[in-house]
């Protein structure tokens, strides 16, 4: 092993390309976080930009600095000058999921309890911090057991569950938003698909994501004032100077008790990042950069904990695509530049200014592309025989998306929603079934995919185990919670329609487990040649 010093750990053009791509990814996620909270849930903007953003950005800075140092150390140890740092940023699926499924609904619930807007926002912020600490600690523990987790939960369950989130929450909701300004949004999406999916060449070999971003901005701000961008155009708000240091705070302690109803969402979000970290490390190793899986996972756990301790509400993760950054010519410089740009942007406020200037119609095409990539990967990275398991895992995510839309007072008045939730005019209440199927949907998707994949592989014991786990978890509301908010409970405390739903769902799992066990007693036919 050579220890000779390297002379080319930086590649100006490649690192700049990598920098722009990585920054746009992070900016898109932070913009969507702000859009969901401020635009959809009417969350106070100052708390998002001066409390949540600085800590979140600090987590990116810490993680990218460590990954830069790891790349430089690997280059020195191997004597190679083509080592590419592992890209780290804010995780897209879990940030969007946390905003739509945890922070936004929690803010509305706090207001319903009688808290004024400011106090409800502060309680939601503390809940977000506590969620980061829970996920960070889970990732810290699983950093030493990541391979075991990968063996217990099949890839179809892990990737299928996250693909369901990608398809319905990251993809479907943004595609509706981009089509509200179709000249801007559809063109931006088309450019991304042309350059990244179809591998079409752009002038100057410009990265496709950056090109779509710039073209979208140009169309939005040139056509919008002329009234040619449709009614979805909104003039940008006046920019405000915001300076906020991400200082450590113990506010997360106050939010810990409020995380309990959301643990069926929070814990799988952390688990998914561990498996994702293992996968991207293997991808980098295949591209020639042999990083320690444990160190990669420990870094993402540490940066998530730092973010949560300092007010962040979005976890960090190593990004998929390290080989793509290597092909761009990026080395160790792009992660350093990204970390510094994002970290300082949270402190001095220019990240929030950029978010306010960039409309969702410009960012939505990037999110739709991300959803396509994640969903496609679920099929490409799992055995072909498990395709049915991946598809089966999508249904809980569809139910969750429907429950979100139907639960919006703009569509269904709250009193009517509550009535439909318990109506038994035609047997089991249809809306109640949809809500129950959507609650705990990530864990449900994992169980469903694991059950089907195990049956395909003739692992009857694993299939039965998945069904029994589903039946037991249903009784306590970890999955299929019969409460509209997805809360946990003890089964003997349920009454009425909720009790019927919970018992029937659980009985369905356990009865099927018994039937699969009986069927397994048959003599297996000889395997086909």
C-alpha R_g of the chain: 23
DSSP per-residue letters across 36-63:
IIIIIS---HHHIIIIIHHHHHHHHHHH
Residue 2 pLDDT? 43
Residue 1 pLDDT? 43
| Residue located via tokens 């509400």 | 313
Tokens, residue 156: 């179809």
Q: Is 231 in a helix, a strand, or coil? A: coil
Count CB atoms within 10 A of the CB of residue 508.
15
What helix, strand, coil percent values describe the chain, rounded to 5? 70, 0, 25
The whole-model pTM stands at: 0.75
Non-local CB neighbours of 158 within 8 Å, separated by 6+ positions:
150, 271, 272, 275, 446
DSSP state, residue 144: T
Handedness of CA 28, 29, 33, 34 (dihedral sign): negative
Distance CA 16, CA 108 (A): 42
Q: Is 505 in a helix, a strand, or coil? A: helix
Q: Residue 230 CA to chain centroid, in angstroms?
A: 30
Q: Residue 235 CA to chain centroid, in angstroms?
A: 29
Cross-strand partners of 88: 318
Residue 3 pLDDT? 45
Tokens, residue 267: 């814990």
- First CA to last CA distance, the chain: 47
Handedness of CA 200, 202, 207, 212 (dihedral sign): negative
Residue 7 pLDDT? 47
Residue 506 pLDDT? 94
Q: Is 515 in a helix, a strand, or coil? A: helix
Distance CA 335, CA 330 (A): 9
| Low-confidence residues in the chain, pLDDT < 50 | 1-7
User: What digits encode the pLDDT tens for the residues 159-209?
Assistant: 787 778 778 877 887 888 888 888 888 998 999 889 878 888 888 777 777
H-run or E-run covering 483:
none
Non-local CB neighbours of 42 within 8 Å, separated by 6+ positions:
none
Non-local CB neighbours of 465 within 8 Å, separated by 6+ positions:
none
CA-to-CA dists, residue 327 to 13, 18, 117, angstroms: 12, 10, 48
Alpha helices (H) in 180-262, listed in sequence order: 182-192, 208-223, 251-256
DSSP state, residue 306: H
The half-sphere exposure of 511 on its side-chain side, counting CA atoms within 13 A, is 6
Count CB atoms within 10 A of the CB of residue 257.
11
Query: For residues 64 and 338, is the Cβ–Cβ distance under 8 A?
Result: yes
User: What digits encode the pLDDT tens for the residues 336-393?
Assistant: 999 999 999 999 988 888 888 888 788 788 778 877 877 887 888 788 999 999 999 9
Residue 300 pLDDT? 93
DSSP state, residue 262: G
Length of the chain (residues):
529
DSSP per-residue letters across 390-413:
HHHTTHHHHHHHHHHHHT-TTTS-
Query: For residues 82 and 333, is the Cβ–Cβ distance under 8 A?
Result: no
């Amino acid at each position: 092993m050579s220890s000779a010093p390297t002379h080319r750990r930086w590649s100006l053009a490649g690192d700049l390309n990598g920098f722009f791509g990585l920054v746009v990814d992070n900016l898109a996620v932070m913009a969507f976080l702000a859009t969901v909270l401020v635009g959809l849930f009417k969350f106070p903007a100052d708390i998002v930009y001066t409390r949540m953003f600085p800590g979140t950005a600090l987590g990116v800075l810490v993680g990218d600095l460590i990954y830069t140092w790891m790349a430089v150390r690997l280059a020195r140890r191997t004597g190679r000058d083509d080592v590419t740092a592992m890209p780290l940023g804010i995780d897209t699926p879990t940030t969007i999921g946390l905003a739509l499924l945890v922070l936004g609904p929690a803010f509305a619930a706090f207001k319903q309890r009688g808290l004024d807007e400011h106090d409800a926002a502060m309680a939601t912020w503390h809940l977000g911090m506590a969620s980061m600490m829970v996920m960070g600690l889970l990732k810290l523990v699983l950093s030493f057991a990541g391979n075991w987790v990968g063996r217990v939960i099949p890839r179809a369950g892990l990737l299928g569950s996250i693909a369901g989130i990608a398809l319905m929450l990251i993809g479907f909701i943004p595609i509706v938003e981009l089509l509200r300004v179709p000249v801007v949004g559809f063109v931006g999406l088309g450019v991304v698909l042309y350059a990244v999916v179809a591998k079409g060449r752009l002038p100057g070999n410009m990265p496709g994501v950056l090109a779509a971003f710039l073209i979208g901005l140009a169309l939005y701000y040139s056509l919008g004032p002329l009234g040619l961008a449709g009614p979805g155009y909104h003039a940008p708000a006046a920019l405000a100077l915001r300076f906020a240091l991400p200082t450590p705070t113990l506010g997360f302690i106050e939010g810990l008790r409020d995380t309990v109803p959301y643990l069926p969402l929070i814990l799988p979000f952390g688990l998914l990042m561990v498996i994702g970290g293992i996968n991207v490390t293997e991808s980098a190793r295949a591209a020639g950069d042999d990083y320690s899986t444990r160190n990669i996972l420990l870094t993402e756990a540490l940066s998530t904990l730092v973010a949560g301790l300092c007010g962040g509400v979005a976890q960090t993760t190593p990004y998929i695509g390290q080989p793509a950054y290597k092909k761009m010519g990026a080395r160790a410089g792009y992660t350093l530049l990204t970390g510094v740009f994002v970290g300082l942007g949270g402190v001095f406020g220019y990240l929030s200014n950029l978010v306010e200037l960039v409309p969702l119609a410009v960012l939505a095409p990037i999110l739709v592309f991300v959803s396509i990539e994640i969903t496609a990967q679920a099929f490409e990275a799992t055995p072909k025989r498990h395709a049915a398991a991946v598809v089966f895992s999508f249904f809980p995510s569809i139910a969750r998306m429907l429950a979100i839309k139907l639960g919006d007072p703009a569509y269904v008045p709250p009193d009517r929603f509550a009535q439909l939730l318990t109506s038994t005019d035609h047997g089991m209440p249809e809306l109640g079934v949809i809500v129950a199927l959507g609650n705990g949907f990530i864990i449900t998707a994992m169980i469903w995919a694991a059950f089907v994949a195990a049956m395909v592989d003739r692992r009857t014991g694993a299939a039965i185990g998945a069904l029994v786990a589903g039946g037991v978890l249903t009784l306590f509301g970890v999955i299929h919670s019969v409460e509209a908010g997805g809360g946990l409970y003890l089964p003997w405390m349920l009454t009425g329609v909720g009790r019927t739903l919970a018992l029937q769902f659980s009985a369905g799992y356990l009865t099927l487990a018994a039937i699969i066990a009986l069927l397994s007693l048959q003599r297996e036919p000889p395997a086909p040649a």
